[in-house]
Protein backbone atom coordinates (compact mmCIF):
# COMPACT_ATOMS: atom_id res chain seq x y z
CA UNK A 1 0.00 0.00 0.00
CA UNK A 2 1.41 3.37 -1.01
CA UNK A 3 1.09 6.48 1.08
CA UNK A 4 -0.41 9.21 -1.17
CA UNK A 5 1.92 11.85 0.32
CA UNK A 6 4.98 9.73 -0.47
CA UNK A 7 3.72 9.15 -3.99
CA UNK A 8 3.09 12.85 -4.54
CA UNK A 9 6.58 13.85 -3.40
CA UNK A 10 8.22 11.20 -5.56
CA UNK A 11 6.21 12.34 -8.56
CA UNK A 12 7.50 15.87 -7.92
CA UNK A 13 11.10 14.52 -7.66
CA UNK A 14 10.63 12.78 -11.01
CA UNK A 15 9.21 15.97 -12.56
CA UNK A 16 12.30 17.84 -11.27
CA UNK A 17 14.53 15.17 -12.83
CA UNK A 18 12.83 15.68 -16.20
CA UNK A 19 13.11 19.49 -15.87
CA UNK A 20 16.80 18.99 -15.09
CA UNK A 21 17.42 17.25 -18.40
CA UNK A 22 15.60 20.10 -20.13
CA UNK A 23 17.95 22.63 -18.51
CA UNK A 24 21.23 20.82 -19.18
CA UNK A 25 21.53 18.75 -16.01
CA UNK A 26 21.54 15.05 -15.23
CA UNK A 27 18.21 13.15 -14.94
CA UNK A 28 17.84 13.32 -11.17
CA UNK A 29 15.56 15.25 -8.81
CA UNK A 30 14.99 15.33 -5.07
CA UNK A 31 12.53 16.77 -2.56
CA UNK A 32 12.99 17.10 1.21
CA UNK A 33 9.98 17.30 3.49
CA UNK A 34 9.58 18.04 7.18
CA UNK A 35 6.38 17.32 9.07
CA UNK A 36 4.41 17.00 5.86
CA UNK A 37 5.72 20.22 4.30
CA UNK A 38 8.21 20.61 1.46
CA UNK A 39 11.43 22.22 2.73
CA UNK A 40 13.62 21.90 -0.37
CA UNK A 41 13.46 20.87 -4.00
CA UNK A 42 16.47 20.42 -6.27
CA UNK A 43 17.80 18.77 -9.35
CA UNK A 44 21.18 17.64 -10.60
CA UNK A 45 23.51 20.51 -11.50
CA UNK A 46 26.86 18.68 -11.99
CA UNK A 47 27.67 19.85 -15.50
CA UNK A 48 25.69 23.09 -15.22
CA UNK A 49 27.80 24.26 -12.25
CA UNK A 50 30.91 22.16 -12.93
CA UNK A 51 30.42 20.69 -9.47
CA UNK A 52 30.80 16.90 -9.15
CA UNK A 53 29.00 17.03 -5.80
CA UNK A 54 25.90 18.79 -7.18
CA UNK A 55 23.68 15.73 -7.22
CA UNK A 56 19.99 16.40 -6.64
CA UNK A 57 20.01 14.98 -3.10
CA UNK A 58 23.12 16.96 -2.09
CA UNK A 59 21.66 20.17 -3.52
CA UNK A 60 18.43 19.53 -1.60
CA UNK A 61 20.28 18.71 1.64
CA UNK A 62 22.34 21.91 1.39
CA UNK A 63 19.22 23.93 0.65
CA UNK A 64 17.22 22.40 3.53
CA UNK A 65 19.99 22.80 6.10
CA UNK A 66 20.53 26.40 5.00
CA UNK A 67 16.81 27.15 5.31
CA UNK A 68 16.46 25.42 8.69
CA UNK A 69 19.76 26.85 10.00
CA UNK A 70 21.16 23.54 11.27
CA UNK A 71 23.31 20.77 9.78
CA UNK A 72 21.01 17.96 10.90
CA UNK A 73 17.67 16.91 9.43
CA UNK A 74 16.61 14.07 11.70
CA UNK A 75 12.97 15.21 11.34
CA UNK A 76 13.04 15.19 7.53
CA UNK A 77 12.45 12.74 4.68
CA UNK A 78 14.38 12.67 1.38
CA UNK A 79 12.45 11.78 -1.78
CA UNK A 80 14.73 10.93 -4.70
CA UNK A 81 13.80 10.17 -8.29
CA UNK A 82 16.48 7.44 -8.34
CA UNK A 83 18.18 5.21 -5.80
CA UNK A 84 20.86 7.33 -4.05
CA UNK A 85 24.50 6.91 -5.05
CA UNK A 86 27.10 6.29 -2.30
CA UNK A 87 27.91 10.02 -2.00
CA UNK A 88 24.27 11.03 -1.54
CA UNK A 89 23.58 8.18 0.84
CA UNK A 90 26.57 9.07 3.02
CA UNK A 91 25.62 12.78 2.89
CA UNK A 92 22.09 11.90 4.02
CA UNK A 93 23.51 9.92 6.92
CA UNK A 94 25.77 12.82 7.93
CA UNK A 95 22.61 14.95 7.89
CA UNK A 96 20.92 12.35 10.13
CA UNK A 97 18.14 11.74 7.60
CA UNK A 98 16.15 8.77 8.96
CA UNK A 99 14.22 7.91 5.78
CA UNK A 100 14.89 8.02 2.04
CA UNK A 101 12.18 7.09 -0.45
CA UNK A 102 13.25 6.57 -4.07
CA UNK A 103 11.58 5.61 -7.36
CA UNK A 104 13.96 4.22 -10.02
CA UNK A 105 16.41 1.49 -8.99
CA UNK A 106 20.18 1.83 -9.49
CA UNK A 107 19.90 -0.21 -12.69
CA UNK A 108 18.26 2.80 -14.37
CA UNK A 109 21.36 4.90 -13.58
CA UNK A 110 23.45 2.14 -15.17
CA UNK A 111 21.20 2.14 -18.23
CA UNK A 112 21.74 5.89 -18.61
CA UNK A 113 25.53 5.53 -18.33
CA UNK A 114 26.15 6.91 -14.83
CA UNK A 115 28.97 5.76 -12.53
CA UNK A 116 26.87 5.08 -9.42
CA UNK A 117 27.45 1.34 -9.57
CA UNK A 118 31.17 1.37 -10.49
CA UNK A 119 31.65 3.67 -7.47
CA UNK A 120 29.50 1.43 -5.27
CA UNK A 121 31.60 -1.57 -6.34
CA UNK A 122 34.75 0.14 -5.07
CA UNK A 123 33.15 1.15 -1.78
CA UNK A 124 30.59 -1.57 -1.00
CA UNK A 125 32.00 -4.38 -3.13
CA UNK A 126 28.44 -4.70 -4.51
CA UNK A 127 25.77 -2.44 -6.02
CA UNK A 128 23.90 -1.74 -2.79
CA UNK A 129 25.04 -0.80 0.72
CA UNK A 130 25.83 -3.66 3.05
CA UNK A 131 23.92 -2.81 6.22
CA UNK A 132 21.66 0.26 5.93
CA UNK A 133 19.67 1.02 9.08
CA UNK A 134 16.20 -0.59 9.07
CA UNK A 135 13.71 1.78 7.42
CA UNK A 136 16.39 4.01 5.90
CA UNK A 137 15.76 3.07 2.28
CA UNK A 138 12.38 2.44 0.66
CA UNK A 139 11.74 1.93 -3.01
CA UNK A 140 8.33 3.00 -4.24
CA UNK A 141 7.91 1.80 -7.79
CA UNK A 142 6.14 4.33 -10.01
CA UNK A 143 5.21 3.92 -13.66
CA UNK A 144 6.96 7.16 -14.59
CA UNK A 145 10.24 6.35 -12.79
CA UNK A 146 12.12 5.61 -16.02
CA UNK A 147 10.99 8.74 -17.88
CA UNK A 148 13.86 11.05 -16.79
CA UNK A 149 16.34 8.46 -18.08
CA UNK A 150 14.42 8.05 -21.34
CA UNK A 151 14.53 11.86 -21.72
CA UNK A 152 18.27 11.84 -21.01
CA UNK A 153 19.04 9.11 -23.52
CA UNK A 154 16.94 10.90 -26.14
CA UNK A 155 18.66 14.24 -25.50
CA UNK A 156 21.13 14.98 -28.32
CA UNK A 157 23.06 17.61 -26.34
CA UNK A 158 23.37 15.68 -23.07
CA UNK A 159 26.66 16.05 -21.21
CA UNK A 160 27.69 12.75 -19.63
CA UNK A 161 29.82 12.99 -16.47
Other C-beta atoms lying within 10 Å of the C-beta of residue 30? 34
Gap between the Cα atoms of 49 and 85, Å rounded: 19
CB of 42 to its own copies, least distance (A): 12
Q: Taking the CA of residue 78 as centre, how many other CA atoms within 13 Å lie in the half-sphere pointing to its CB?
A: 39
Asked if 65 is part of the footprint of its own copies (rule: CB under 8 A), the reply reads yes
Nearest to 99 by CA among 128, 138, 71: 138
Contact with its own copies (CB under 8 A) among 110, 136, 140, 142: 136
Find the helix or strand (DSSP H, E) in which 82 lies. Answer: strand 76-82
For residue 19, indicate whether it is catalytic. no
Q: Phi-psi bin for 154: left (phi > 0), alpha (psi -120 to 50), beta?
A: alpha
Q: Among residue numbers 139 through 158, which ones bind its own copies (CB under 8 A)?
A: none
Query: Exposure of 103 by Cβ count < 10 A (0-12 exposed, 13-18 middle, 19+ buried)?
Result: buried
Which residue of the set 19, 41, 57, 83 is catalytic?
57
| Binding window for its own copies (CB under 8 A); candidates: 10-18, 30-38, 54-62, 105-113 | 54-62
Asked if 75 is part of the footprint of its own copies (rule: CB under 8 A), the reply reads no
Gap between the Cα atoms of 77 and 156, Å rounded: 34
Asked if 110 is part of the footprint of its own copies (rule: CB under 8 A), the reply reads no
Contact with its own copies (CB under 8 A) among 85, 101, 112, 145: 85
| Binding window for its own copies (CB under 8 A); candidates: 14-22, 75-83, 127-135, 142-150 | 127-135
* Interface contacts to its own copies, rule CB under 8 A: 46-47, 49-53, 58, 61-62, 65-66, 68-73, 85-87, 89-91, 93-96, 115, 119, 121-126, 129-133, 136, 161
**Catalytic residue annotation:** 57
Amino acid sequence: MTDPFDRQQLQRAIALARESVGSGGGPFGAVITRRGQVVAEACNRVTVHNDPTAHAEIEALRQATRILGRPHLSDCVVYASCEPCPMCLAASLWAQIPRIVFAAPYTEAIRAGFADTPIAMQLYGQARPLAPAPGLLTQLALDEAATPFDDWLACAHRQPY
